[in-house]
Amino acid sequence: MAQSVDLSSVDAFFDVSTSLKSGNAVSTDQWQQFDSSTCYKTYADMDNQFIIRTFKESISLVFDDRRTSELDSLLSAVQSAGGSDRALFMKGLIVDNYLKVKAHYDDIRAFRNSYDFEALRTKSIHKLASFLGHSDDLLTNLKSLHFFVADADAADRDHAIVADFNLIFQMSDQERVELLAHEYFHNYRYRFEDHSFNHRCDMNYLIDMIQNEGIADLIDKSVGYRSHFTKAIFEPGMAEAMIALYDSAENDVERLNDLIVSYSRNQISEDTMVDGLIDIVRFNGHPMGFFMANQIVRAGYEKELVETFYKPEEFYKLYNLAAEKYGLFRFSDVFMNFVFHNSSSE
């Protein structure tokens, strides 16, 4: 029977970083143990070794005090690039997280040994059940929970719910529960999704993702993006980007509508449409989806939103009702017919 909680990658991280902090070289066996631990193994087994190399190099830069000048140079390069270099931006997020671990090293190691992670998983599933208005008994056979030390994030992956250990350490217990309930929402929703719709094309996949992330964000970001992302646990560049995208979400809703309408009328190619979608639906649709979900809740349709949590057409219909009520841009009939019924109408 699979473990419901796995901390092997956290332990491997501490084994390697402790050696470096003590001024010792990391042995081949230690790195092998690191690569074979549950979370890091996913990246070590990839044909493209960029991510696993980034983890290892970042650990060495942060915890080996002999490499301070190299670390300073990297941080300067990240700041100068300002997010234009995606690989450098990602490495900057990981290094920033590792620096926070180093600053609270003894406390976070003590947290590893004293905290009840099984209870956290149970509470998170209960939170999700409460949000959906279901009993806990309905939310059975959900994925196990795996921790590692990477960047400040959590995700629903094929094999498990994975979460950055330092992010969990820095949060309050309520925040931990809500974050993981958000990820378990994705896990649970997958059982009900119309996969023939979602995977028919890139457009459908992104249309569904906007609902998926928008509703999930209601679980752990109910205080709003500005309050949520300005906490010290998030890297400033990420916070600024998310807040800016939320603030411009209504404009992006209009851009999304116009893009799909142009495609439905054969005014642009599918490749051009997909490139436009990628530019509009940034960060997996979180900001736009959360904006739409908030308008739906504000308009008094939260019950309907939750009852249809896996039906994107209903989400877009509810948003249009809310948009009409508040004088916001609403999706056109052409958009709705083309996306959900694959037929355009003037």
| Rounded Cα–Cα distance for residues 36 and 29 (Å) | 10
Please state the rounded mean pLDDT for residues 261-266.
Answer: 97
**Can you read off the two tokens belonging to residue 88?**
């450098």
Work out the pLDDT band at 135, boundaries 50, 70, 90. very high
| Rounded Cα–Cα distance for residues 66 and 72 (Å) | 12
First to last CA, the chain: 56
- φ and ψ of 289, to 5 deg: -65, -40
**Can you read off the two tokens belonging to residue 144?**
């196990």
Of 166, 169, 156, 174, give the one whose Cα is nearest residue 216. 156
> For 156-160, 235-239, 334-338, which range has the lowest pLDDT when averaged over its residues?
235-239
The three-state secondary structure class of 269 is coil
C-alpha dihedral, 217 to 215 to 322 to 287, nearest 10°: 40
List residues bridging with 147 in a β-sheet: 163
User: Could you give the C-alpha distances from 243 to 36, 51, 116, 314, in angstroms and in order?
Assistant: 37, 27, 33, 26
Please state the rounded mean pLDDT for residues 296-307.
Answer: 98
Residue 235 is which amino acid? E
Q: Is the pLDDT of residue 158 over 50?
A: yes
Please state the rounded mean pLDDT for residues 306-331.
Answer: 98
Any long-range contacts for 122-127 (C-beta under 8 Å, 24+ apart)?
Answer: 123/177, 124/176, 124/177, 124/178, 124/179, 124/180, 124/181, 124/184, 125/181, 125/184, 127/177, 127/178, 127/181, 127/219
According to the model, what pLDDT value does residue 345 have?
41
Contacts of 270 (CB under 8 A, 6+ apart): 263
Per-domain residue ranges for the chain?
8-112, 115-189, 195-341
pLDDT tens string 79-123 = 888 778 888 988 998 999 999 999 999 999 999 999 999 999 999
DSSP per position, 123-137: HHHHHHHHHHT--GG
Q: Which CATH homologous superfamily contains domain 115-189?
A: Metalloproteases ("zincins"), catalytic domain (3.30.2010.10)
What is the pTM (predicted TM-score) of this model?
A: 0.93
According to the model, what pLDDT value does residue 344 have?
43
Residue 280 is which amino acid? I
pLDDT tens string 144-154 = 999 999 998 99
**Can you read off the two tokens belonging to residue 133?**
């208005």
| Rounded Cα–Cα distance for residues 74 and 55 (Å) | 14
Please state the rounded mean pLDDT for residues 218-242.
Answer: 82
pLDDT tens string 180-211 = 999 999 999 999 999 999 999 999 999 999 99
